[in-house]
A and B are shown apart, each in its own frame.
Chain A
Amino acid sequence: MNDMRIVERDVDTNEVKIAAKDVQVFYGDTHAIKDVSVDINDKTVTAFIGPSGCGKSTFLRCINRMNDTIDVCRVQGDIRIDSEDIYDPKVDPVQLRAKVGMVFQKPNPFPKSIYDNVAYGPRIHGLAKTKADLDDIVEKSLRRGAIWDEVKDRLHAPGTGLSGGQQQRLCIARAVATEPEVLLMDEPCSALDPIATAQVEELIDELRKNYSVVIVTHSMQQAARVSQKTAFFHLGHLVEYGETGTIFTNPVDPRTESYITGRIG
């Protein structure tokens, strides 16, 4: 009865972009992520929800190997993007991070001009041969970040002079400037007010046409609004992973139901 289905729910027709299998993460002796296996689809927004300390941010940071910067962190298991193992010793994390962009919780534009913020990534990866190319990339990225109209007249103003919501959209524009295929977002709206949050969520909805987006969020309502698939983490385990509508109306696992209805912390 697909013609009666109201919202586009074409998740099942998208291919798998990120495949994680039996992933374990240790911080020193603490076993933070236990046996997590999940397949994340392309052109889809996938949300990771769960109580504080459940490991969702840790798992997110495994996908672009940001955990490498932490000395005591050890990652085991298989994580593949487009069927390539990203923890293979031949893989250079720097190159990986051009393909997998990241947006952080607190907007952190570089203390440079708006233009330089967006141009930095393409510059160091050599994506633009001429100044005109670079200008194109900057404009395209700022448009993708839904902030072009607001800043096109002041590209050389400092990035830190924008409002919170604008800064976060600038960070998103910066992340897409390196032409990534995956966008990771670690609680991107927690530092923003409701209107800015709504604008960023609308932007994320746009972005999923081109990228696979994985968003970690403390707010279940945000996961409900913005994602097509949701994964519920609890104490380092992946408890349930499924289509967002189903998870929020009729979850399978009782732990998921308890968390969503607010019956456990």
Chain B
Amino acid sequence: MNDQHIASAFDRDLEAIQAQIMKMGGLVENAILEASISLETRDEERAETVRRADKAIDELEELINEEAARVIALRAPTAIDLRLVLTIIKVSANLERIGDYAKNMAKRTSVLSQMAPVDDSAGALRRMAKEVERMLKDALDAYVSRDAELAQDVIDRDIEVDQMYSSLFREFLTFMMEDPRNITACMHLHFIAKNVERMGDHVTSIAEQVVYLVTGNTPDEARSKGDKTSLQA
């Protein structure tokens, strides 16, 4: 199949919005990293930067939506072009949510840095965030190279993030039971952990979109639920 459309303007339009998605992806990856570093190093200024940078991510999402709507209205894309535009819309929504979670992380970091550090929890969180960031990077790479296998791999890795969250949940419970003075901090940390886990879910959603884009089918196995905490008594 020829890669180029006969109408070169169509190719230009599609490339333009894909460039915007990659830009947004880069911004969001950066946000995750910066937020987790600021949490670990208790760097309030860094956290503030992350919060401000979220504005750019939101604006990009709005722009991408507008442009995608324009492409649909003007070009009436079909088959792989249609899946591409739909994927882009969904991926940008997912990225925007991930960006929001990173912002929330940064917000809570400011609060947490006022309190005493809880034992090694920040390190565990950072590892979780790092894993999510790697997953996001792989998901975006899978999108660029249209690699359904890599995307499927990302989907499968979400279970580890969920397991990490489950163990962190138990750990925080233990800390809270040990010393009631830790409760406030642990509550915040717990919310952060939940946010990171949700980030992982959104990255999985992005990877599922990539599979849809490449194959035309949504991956049919139910996403494995590694998070058993809702069943915990």
Task: Identify the A interface with B (CB < 8 A).
Answer: 4, 6-7, 195, 198-199, 201-202, 205, 221, 224-225, 244-245, 248-249
Contacts and interface: CB of A to CB of B under 8 A. Distances in A.
B7 A198 contact: yes
Interface of B: 5-10, 12-13, 16-17, 20, 59, 63, 67, 69-70, 73-76
Given A198-B6, A199-B6, A201-B7, A6 B74 contact: no
Nearest to B13: A7
A7 B6 CA distance: 17
B73 A225 contact: no
Contacts of A198: 5-7
Which label, helix, strand, loop or mixed, suits the secondary structure of the B interface? Answer: helix
Nearest to A200: B6
B7 A225 contact: yes
B63 A249 contact: no
A225 B9 CA distance: 9
A203 to B, nearest CB: 10
A65 B70 CA distance: 36
Given A6-B20, A7-B13, A248 B7 contact: no
B74 A224 contact: yes
7 contacts: A4-B59, A6-B67, A7-B12, A7-B13, A195-B6, A199-B6, A224-B76
A224 B73 CA distance: 8
A4 B59 CA distance: 10
A248 B8 contact: no
Given A248-B74, A249-B70, A7 B7 contact: no
Nearest to A205: B9
A249 B13 contact: no
A137 B6 CA distance: 27
A196 B7 CA distance: 11
Contact of B76 (A7, A221, A249): A221
B63 A225 contact: no
B191 to A, nearest CB: 33
A205 B70 contact: no
Contact of B74 (A4, A202, A225): A225
A176 B6 CA distance: 22
Contact of B7 (A4, A205, A244, A245): A205
A224 B76 CA distance: 9
A244 B74 contact: yes
A237 B86 CA distance: 37
Contact of A245 (B8, B10, B73): B73
B75 A225 contact: yes
B195 to A, nearest CB: 28
A4 B63 contact: yes
Contacts of A202: 6-8
A118 B7 CA distance: 26
Nearest to B67: A6
Contacts of B59: 4
